[in-house]
Amino acid sequence: MLKTTDVTGGYGSVQILNGVSLAVERGKIVALLGGNGTGKSTMLKALSGLIKPWSGEILFDGERIDGMRPDLIVRRGLVQVTQGKEAYPGMTVEENLLLGAHIRTGRAVRARALERSYAYFPILKERRKQLTGTLSGGQLQMLCVARGLMSEPKMMLLDEPSAALAPQVVLDIFRAVARICRDGMTLLLVEQNVRMALLLADYGYVIKDGVIHLEGPAETLISDEAVRLSYLGGTVADRDRKLSM
């Protein structure tokens, strides 16, 4: 569904991406892993049209999208889910959600999208008239994932949903994401929480200095010595503990 070939890019004269090639198959969850400053967020911006790659190719659903405007990319079904801090605090939960449906017309279509989002995150329905600025960090992240669903995309780019959240909250969000993907969503998950990402994903890429250093099935990467020492604190996660949701 999504394929990039030798993508380079950056900001001004500073190069961040140094030839990134990756692929996401339809219906799969792929994790893009790495620490701060490795190129993860820059890659997401290139995929969603927020920056134009310097070179290389990005194909989505068989169509080349590198350099395409962000709104056109969204209309083609590729949506980036921002972190919770990017919700609008002075608007209600439901108003925030409806912003995600701006490309959908018709009251019935929007109502269907709302109910679908509320089904994954019932707490948002309970607080739909509440100002977003009064939500907890975990609820804000749930709101951003739900807002991404409102355009009924084919694929979502999820940007570090575990950032600055308590472990139990992270687990709740990942469980909801797993349900969304089981219902047919394709997902590229960008994460620093390598353990959780690999327990959820089908396939993973490890990026460093704007280059893919490792890739493979998630069950292989989670037991890889280099990944274990660099990201898992010297312990091997048990694949049998994969999220049961």
Q: Residue 20: beta bridge partners?
A: 7
β-strand partners of 215: 205
| Residue 85 banded pLDDT, cuts 50, 70, 90 | confident
pLDDT per position as a tens digit, 194-244? 888 999 999 999 999 999 999 999 999 988 887 877 766 543 334 344 444
Distance CA 110, CA 196 (A): 32
Per the confidence metrics, is the pTM higher than 0.85?
A: yes
Q: Bridge-partner residues for 58, per DSSP?
A: 4
Residues 1-42: tens digit of each pLDDT:
999 999 999 999 999 999 999 999 999 999 999 888 899 999
CB 65 within 8 A of CB 49: yes
Q: What are phi and psi of 146, to 5 degrees?
A: -65, -40
Give residue 2's pLDDT: 98
Q: Contact, 125 vs 48, CB < 8 A? A: no
Spatial separation of the C-alpha atoms in residues 29 and 178, rounded to whole Å: 9
The per-residue pLDDT for 242 is 46
Report CA dihedral (126, 129, 134, 135) to the nearest 10 degrees.
Answer: 40
Res. 49: pLDDT tops 90: yes
Where do the domains of the chain lie? 85-151
Q: How far apart are CA 157 and CA 163, in angstroms?
A: 15
Q: What is the pLDDT of residue 233?
A: 54
Q: Tell me the sheet residues that pair with 11.
A: 14
- Residue 84 confidence class, pLDDT cut points 50, 70, 90: low
Going by the DSSP 8-state scheme, the letter that residue 87 receives in this structure is S
- Quick: pLDDT tens for 53-70: 999 999 999 999 998 999
pLDDT for res 32: 96
Reported confidence tier of residue 133, pLDDT bands at 50, 70, 90: very high
Local structure of residue 210 (DSSP, 8 states)? T
Of the two residues 192 and 157, the one the predictor is more confident about is 157
Rounded to the nearest integer, the mean pLDDT of the chain is 89
**Half-sphere exposure of 100 toward its Cβ, with a 13 Å CA cutoff?**
30
Q: How many CA atoms lie within 13 A of 76 on its CB side?
A: 20
